[in-house]
Amino acid sequence: MIQTVVYIALICVAVAMITLLYRVIKGPTLPDRIVALDALGVNIVAMVALVCIALDTNAFLEVILLFGILAFIGTVAFSKYLEKGVIIENDRNS
Amino acid sequence: MKTSDLILQTATKLILFLIVLFSVYIFFAGHYTPGGGFVGGLLTSGAILLLLLAFDMKTVQTILPFNYLYMVALGLLFAIGTGAGALLFNTPFLTHAFGDIHVPVLGELHLHTATLFDLGVYLVVVGVTMSIIQTIGGDE
């Protein structure tokens, strides 16, 4: 029972990722693509959690937190590049 | 144009400690569950990178006054030290020892010298990653 539900959920997440991929490829501006990539990261987190349930293991639970952190840092870096032109400033007060 | 990063900086101050705690957890959990020195070191440098994104190079250098090249050297010393320590007990190079040791405050602990080797890996990974980021990021 739970296996069937997990597989249906996995297919739903996969469809969501394909539509997000459409936005990454088609997206007219760069911010569109960045938001789509961030959402793709969240969907990967969901997928890892569902695969964890399907395989009946808790070996991948660290991966979930890791992907969340990495997606956050990546999105922040991209947004800062768009806003300021540099990712790491040398001295923000000068 | 002068912009304000108030939300990013406040969020960083909260999230940073969570990431550092998670990296320390991953480092110590490496013996029994997935993780270890490599992932822990990368996650710690991710935390410092978040600090670099929210603030700037000069501030971070004031907060964490490390010379990352020395950190690499210290990590290699840890690794070679735990390897060479085995030679003192008439065992082959890199033979690790373990045992249940009574520590005054913490009580009975199962300690293993592989953790010290892993600490060396951790320091090397943090040092290498941060010196790459600092070399590329600093535009001087």
Give the best residue of A70, A92, A94 to mutate against chain B (max B CB count within 10 A).
A92
pLDDT one-digit tens code per residue, B33-56: 888 899 999 999 999 999 999 988
Query: What contacts B139, CB < 8 A, 6 or more positions away?
Result: A86, A90
pLDDT one-digit tens code per residue, A23-34: 999 989 999 999
Measured between beta carbons, which residues in chain B are less than 8 angstroms from residue A76? 8, 50, 53-54
* pLDDT grade for A15, boundaries at 50, 70 and 90: very high
pLDDT one-digit tens code per residue, B68-83: 999 999 999 999 999 8
- Token couple for B16: 């940073």
Among A60, A62, A92, whose Cβ lies nearest the Cβ of B55? A92
Interchain contact A66–B (C-beta under 8 A): yes
Q: Identify the burial level of A9 via C-beta atoms within 10 angstroms of its C-beta, where 0-12 means exposed, 13-18 middle and 19 or more buried.
A: middle
Q: How many CB pairs under 8 A join A and B?
A: 54
- Quote the percentage of chain B above a pLDDT of 90: 48
Query: What contacts B45, CB < 8 A, 6 or more positions away?
Result: B125, B126, B129, B130, B133
Query: Which of the pair, A90 or B51, is modelled with greater confidence?
Result: B51
- Quote the percentage of chain B above a pLDDT of 70: 96
What per-residue confidence (pLDDT) applies to A94? 63
What per-residue confidence (pLDDT) applies to B139? 65
Segment B116-132 mean pLDDT: 94
A92 pLDDT exceeds 70?
Answer: yes
Segment B4-11 mean pLDDT: 90
What per-residue confidence (pLDDT) applies to B85? 85
Amino acid letter for position B65:
P
Domain spans, chain B: 6-138
B116 pLDDT exceeds 70?
Answer: yes
Give the H or E element holding residue A26. helix A2-26
- Token couple for B88: 């003192």
Measured between beta carbons, which residues in chain B are less than 8 angstroms from residue A68? none
B140 pLDDT exceeds 60?
Answer: no
